[in-house]
């Protein structure tokens, strides 16, 4: 039984020894790679008296595809205003997974503290218009179905979100336009 199990490994022992000595791949992953059980890898490692390198503490962002995807999204302009739902969709991960890796990235200060905090897709939509179309806040609110977009912006600013000022005044008139009109009148 044992010989049969090792027979599969024959010819690949050297590779396995190398992997055991030089990588931090788990026994389980190595088992999959070599087509034998985790226990068999463990037994092999013990028999060969292999000292395995210590796995670095914490999460390795460079080697994590999900972290890399999250970082890529976070580097786009106004990425803090992308809702977590959109982020999850873009990374093709799950909500739990994304939250875990986001926490890690925030802790390491690799992403903005606000990145991934927004939950509402409607607010995300409103901000997307705010940043691209430069419409009055009330118009945007009507367009996406948010009655209180102005107060949401106020709240976000109070929480430290970087929301640039609207080019329109509270009456919905362009600030630049009314400025030129004022100058003409003089
Ligand atoms: Zn990660």
46: left (phi over 0), alpha (psi -120 to 50) or beta: alpha
Same domain, 136 and 180: yes
Give yes or no for residue 3 having a pLDDT over 60.
no
Domain assignment of residue 178, given as a range: 132-185
Residue 76 lies in a domain: yes
Residue 4 alpha carbon to ligand 1 centre in Å: 38
Which is it for the CA torsion 39, 3, 51, 56, positive or negative? Answer: negative
Residue 71 alpha carbon to ligand 1 centre in Å: 10
Question: What per-residue confidence (pLDDT) applies to 11?
Answer: 80
Of 100, 135, 130, nearest to 116 by C-alpha is 100
Same domain, 113 and 137: no
Same domain, 137 and 114: no
Same domain, 69 and 39: no
Residue 115 alpha carbon to ligand 1 centre in Å: 15
User: Domain end: 82, 98, 119, which one?
Assistant: 119
Arithmetic mean of pLDDT, 56-84: 91
Question: What per-residue confidence (pLDDT) applies to 135?
Answer: 85
Tally of domains within the chain: 3
Residue 53 lies in a domain: no
What are 79-108's pLDDT values in tens digits?
999 999 999 999 998 898 899 899 999 999
Residue 105 alpha carbon to ligand 1 centre in Å: 8
Residue 179 lies in a domain: yes
Arithmetic mean of pLDDT, 21-26: 83
Global model pTM greater than 0.75 = no
Which is more confidently placed, 37 or 186? 37
How far apart CA 71 and CA 105 sit, in angstroms, is 8
Give 76-93 as a DSSP string: STTGGGS-HHHHHHHHT-
| Cβ–Cβ < 8 Å for 88, 57 | no
Phi then psi for residue 39, to 5 deg, are -65, -40
Residue 61 alpha carbon to ligand 1 centre in Å: 5
Residue 33 lies in a domain: yes
Question: What per-residue confidence (pLDDT) applies to 78?
Answer: 93
Question: What per-residue confidence (pLDDT) applies to 1?
Answer: 45
| Cβ–Cβ < 8 Å for 149, 126 | yes
Residue 114 alpha carbon to ligand 1 centre in Å: 18
Same domain, 77 and 115: yes
How far apart CA 117 and CA 149 sit, in angstroms, is 17
Residue 102 alpha carbon to ligand 1 centre in Å: 8
| Cβ–Cβ < 8 Å for 91, 70 | yes
Give yes or no for residue 54 having a pLDDT over 80.
no
What are 140-184's pLDDT values in tens digits?
999 999 999 999 999 999 999 999 888 776 566 666 655 556 666
Residue 127 lies in a domain: no
What are 104-141's pLDDT values in tens digits?
999 999 999 999 999 999 999 999 999 988 788 999 99
Residue 98 alpha carbon to ligand 1 centre in Å: 8
Residue 117 alpha carbon to ligand 1 centre in Å: 17
């Amino acid at each position: 039984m044992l010989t049969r199990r090792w027979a599969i490994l024959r010819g690949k022992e050297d590779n396995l020894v190398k992997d055991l000595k030089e990588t931090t791949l788990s026994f389980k992953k190595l088992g999959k790679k070599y087509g034998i059980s985790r226990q068999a890898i463990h037994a092999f490692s013990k028999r060969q008296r292999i000292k395995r390198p210590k796995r670095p503490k914490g999460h390795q962002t460079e080697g994590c595809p999900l972290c890399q995807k999250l970082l890529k999204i976070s580097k786009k302009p106004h990425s803090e205003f992308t809702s977590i739902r959109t982020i999850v969709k873009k990374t093709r991960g799950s909500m739990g997974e994304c939250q875990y890796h986001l926490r890690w990235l925030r802790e390491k200060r690799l992403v903005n503290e606000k990145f991934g905090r927004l939950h509402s897709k409607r607010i995300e939509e409103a901000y997307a218009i705010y940043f691209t179309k430069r419409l009055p806040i009330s118009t945007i609110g009507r367009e996406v179905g948010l009655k209180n977009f102005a107060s949401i912006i106020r709240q976000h600013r109070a929480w430290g979100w970087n929301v640039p000022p609207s080019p329109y005044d509270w009456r919905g008139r362009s600030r630049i336009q009314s400025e030129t009109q004022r100058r003409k009148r003089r």
